[in-house]
Amino acid sequence: MFKRIFAGALALAVPFVAGPALAQEKVLKAVMHADVRVIDPIWTTQTIANIHGALIYDTLFGNNADQKPQPQMVGKYEVSPDRLTYTFTLRDGLKFHDGSPVTTKDVIASLKRWGAKDGVGQRLMGFVTKMEPVDDKTFTMVLRAPYGMVLESLGKTSSSIPAIMREKDALTDPQQQVKEAVGSGPYMFAKDQWVPGSKAVYLKNKDYQPRTEPPSSFAGAKVPGVDRIELVWISDPQTAMSALINGEIDFYEAPTNDFLPLLEKARGVKLMKTGKIDSTQGFIRLNHLQPPFDNVKARQAMYYLINQEDFLRAIVGDPKYYKVCPALLTCGGPYESAGGREWMKEYNPKKALQLLKEAGYKGEPITVLSATDHATITPATQVLIQAMREAGINVDAQSMDWGSVVSRRAKKDPPAQGGWNIFVTTSGGVGSANPVLHTWIGAACDKGLFGWPCDAKIEELRNAFGMAQTEEERKKIANDLQARAMEQVVYIPFGQWDTPLAYRADRIDGIVPNTGLAVLWGITKK
């Protein structure tokens, strides 16, 4: 009764006070995992900045859903018989959003900027001796030694993508953010409508000429299927879920695992896992510079504290969305291997403590950076702390927000002086599937990521993987690499899980199968 009275009152009121009729443009409203605050995908490795970048910038190559590189801006390319010289020719019709044509000057400047900042780019540029334009559409890339990951690197679908910018933007210092976001991709950034922390708007690039192949992740046709994309930021997951159920948004990139059962039952809503290896891998990073984990035996002792099921149940809950995966390279990925898995066969806290003592641990506090505001890292850290306490380890749990963890983990000082021993984090399944793209598996000492594992053999194997010529060779190296990395405990995995995206099946269509960053081109409104 009340509903009818209220609805009637509203219906009577609407004609008198309704706003201007909306234009009949097709708008995709998508809620992503974070808000767009940075417009330069090279300046930051933030995933959301790269999703933004992938909408407005194009790339020379695009890895497809099977992670095989396919030409995207490139029309044709040749590799010299000695595999040292790559000649790339841009396809016809490439134009920036300001109308200027894309030339090899733009491309070379963009690749140099990306190669100075991105880890995969730096590795590639380590092989490149020069890049020179032949003309406006053709350029060469000369290597000092054959490198088997040239095209995969140029087509990478994880942060940071090798976005092709205008030369004047690409000449910006890589440590500074570009001022304008003008690309040649399927959508144009509407900077004047951008409200950081709330909404980022993208308009269809009517001049964009997509490829003719079927779309697959970053490869094939990038068809701008709607007139306008609004990346709406809803920070509260409950509100975002309700908004999707209510039809106020069309696409929800990363619903919280707790809400998946509700979304499964919601009318008009579908859940979808886009790619085979799209997943998240959770892991524990130990500080190799500070005792007790500067001793490999102490690091290996920590394996006995990990029962992956405990972590995965705390984070995800429903087993259909998670997978026990005692490996560093993504389970289900092309280089999934058995190397080193024997380290994670037993959960035994007593043995962990005994091994720690044998490694010289005398009950000193072990500082764990405990994030309190992260949907997955927070529960995982709590499970770890509980396991450590059960083993009798003296845990100094330092509670802080994720922003503080990110800041503090960069400190190499002893824990008592603001440093740390352990933090928990996650990595994307796509990046973790490839030994070169997977930066957390590296052991480049001071030049590596936080925790600073240092092992020449691991780095040799990663380089060898990049230079391998056959798939068999790569698989063999990946297996050896994982075995060595697990022996050295570059990190301790605690499982792998999927976060399917949710969308209004009654309103949108054409979601492109993808692996890596979310792909929004191709989506059409019914």
Partner 1 sequence: MTAYIVRRLFATLPVMAVVALFVFFLLRFAPGDPAAIIAGEDATAEAISAVRAKLGLDRPMVEQFVVWTSQLLRGDMGVSIFSNLPVTRLISQRLEPTVALTLSTLFVAVAMAIPIGVLAAWKARKLVDRLVMGFAVLGFAMPVFVLAYILIYFFAVKWQLLPVQGYQPIKEGLWPFVQSLILPSMALGITYMALIARTTRASMLEVLAQDYMRTANSKGLATNRVLLLHALKNAAVPIVTVIGIGIALLISGVVITETVFNIPGLGRLTVDAVLKRDYPVVQGLILVFAGAKVLVNLIIDISYAFLDPRIRY
- Residues near partner 1 (CB under 8 A): 3, 6-7, 10, 13-14, 16-20, 35, 37-39, 43-47, 49, 117, 119, 159, 173, 175-177, 179, 194-199, 232, 234-236, 238-240, 242-243, 245-246, 248, 373, 400-404, 406-410, 412, 425, 427, 439-440, 446-450
Q: Tell me the C-alpha distance between 302 and 316, whole Å.
A: 23
Cα(first)–Cα(last) distance of the chain, in Å?
34
Which of 248, 473 has the CB closer to partner 1? 248
- How far is the CA of 385 from the CAs of 110, 154, 365, 391, in angstroms? 44, 40, 12, 10
Task: Provide the minimum distance between the beta carbon of 35 and partner 1 in the complex, in angstroms, as a whole number.
Answer: 7
CB of 446 to partner 1, least distance (A): 8
Report helix, strand or coil for 524. strand
Q: How far is the CB of 281 from partner 1 (least distance, A)?
A: 13
Q: Which is nearer to partner 1, 185 or 431 (CB)?
A: 431
Non-local CB neighbours of 430 within 8 Å, separated by 6+ positions: 67, 157, 158, 275, 277, 278, 330, 437, 515, 516
Pull the structure tokens for residue 101: 């044509």
Nearer residue to partner 1 within complex by CB, 41 or 71: 41
- In angstroms, the CA 322 to CA 257 distance is 10
- Minimum CB distance to partner 1, residue 121 (Å): 12
**308-315 vs 377-391: helix crossing angle, rounded to 10:** 140
Q: By C-beta, is 226 or 240 nearer to partner 1?
A: 240
Kindly tell me which of 134 and 410 has the beta carbon lying closer to partner 1: 410
- Backbone dihedral angles phi then psi of residue 90, each to the nearest 5 degrees: -70, 145
Which two structure tokens, joined as six digits, stand for 340? Answer: 């080193």
**276 Cβ partners below 8 Å, 6+ apart?**
65, 66, 332, 515
Measured from the CB atom, the residue of 287 and 300 that comes closer to partner 1 is: 287
CA distances in angstroms from 406 to 20, 50, 413, listed in the order given: 46, 19, 15
φ, ψ at 304 (rounded to 5°): -75, 0
Number of alpha carbons in the 13 Å side-chain half-sphere of residue 321: 23
- Give whichever of 191 and 345 is closer to partner 1, judged by the CB atom: 191
Query: CB of residue 95 vs partner 1: minimum separation in angstroms?
Result: 25
CB of 162 to partner 1, least distance (A): 15
Nearest approach in angstroms of CB 353 to partner 1 is 31
Distance CA 317, CA 324 (A): 13
In angstroms, the CA 526 to CA 514 distance is 21
Q: Tell me the pairing of strands 508-509 and 322-323.
A: unpaired
Do the strands 187-189 and 199-204 form a parallel or antiparallel pair, or are they unpaired? Answer: antiparallel
Give me the least distance between CB of 234 and partner 1, in Å please.
Answer: 5
In angstroms, give the least distance from the CB of 2 to partner 1.
9
C-alpha 33/C-alpha 15 separation (Å) is 37
Q: Select 210 or 237, whichever has its Cβ closest to partner 1.
A: 237
Give whichever of 156 and 211 is closer to partner 1, judged by the CB atom. Answer: 156
**Closest distance to partner 1 from the beta carbon of 187 (Å):** 19
Smallest gap from residue 368 Cβ to partner 1 (A)? 15
* Whole-angstrom distance, CA of residue 164 vs CA of residue 150: 16
Nearer to partner 1, 120 or 154 (CB): 120
C-alpha distances in Å from residue 270, one per residue of 34, 106, 265, 455, 515: 21, 41, 9, 45, 19
Q: Who contacts 356 (Cβ-Cβ below 8 Å, separation ≥6)? A: 292, 298, 301, 393
Task: Output the smallest distance, CB 303 to partner 1, in A.
Answer: 24
Q: By C-beta, is 239 or 394 nearer to partner 1?
A: 239
Tell the residue number behind the tokens 């980022």, with chain if given. 200
Shortest separation between residue 263's beta carbon and partner 1, angstroms? 13
> Going by C-beta distance under 8 Å and a sequence separation of 6 or more, which residues neighbour residue 447?
none
394 secondary structure, DSSP code: -
- Closest CB to partner 1 among 72 and 439? 439
